[in-house]
Structure 1
Amino acid sequence: MTALSVAADTVAWPGIWFGPWFLLIPLFWLLVVVLFFVFARRLWWRRPWGEFRGAGAEGVLRERYARGEIDESEYLQRLEVLRAEQRR
């Protein structure tokens, strides 16, 4: 007997043969973990950036000004009102 077959006889349990099915269980869990990270990353990158900034009232006001919904004078006026309310 070669050294490899002796080592296999001492490690293997009598009457039990694992075969290729033994590798499918770790591969399955590896696939589950990888898919979790792939989907989590895709969901993370699809969120609008306003959610990460904490788009409060000033964030909404900035976005409206950037889209051209309000002009500069209205933006500044509303910004002053918001900041005055925050100081109270």
Structure 2
Amino acid sequence: MYYWNHRGMNGWGWFVASISAILFWVLLILLIVFLVRTMNRSPGRPHNAPGRLPPERVLAERFARGEIDEDEYRRRLAVLREEHHGPDKRERAP
């Protein structure tokens, strides 16, 4: 009769121990998933959302479908390349 609620865990102790064990395993699984996803990410891959196309390709597809004409395509492509390759190199008025 030594362990009948005199020195053992009561109902709350079992509840806290159960929740703690569940939280431990959830956090461990989340940590493993995070590490696997981080290790599988290639360094050259852009961090765009999955399925999202680069802007140049979207522009080329719009040109191919006939949504924009050649002049607009070239003008927008020049703007995109200026944004990706550095600041504007044109002279600015003081």
TM-score for both structures, normalised by structure 1: 0.38
Relative to its length, the structure with more helix (as a share) is 1
TM-score for both structures, normalised by structure 2: 0.36
Question: Which of the two has higher C-alpha Rg?
Answer: 1
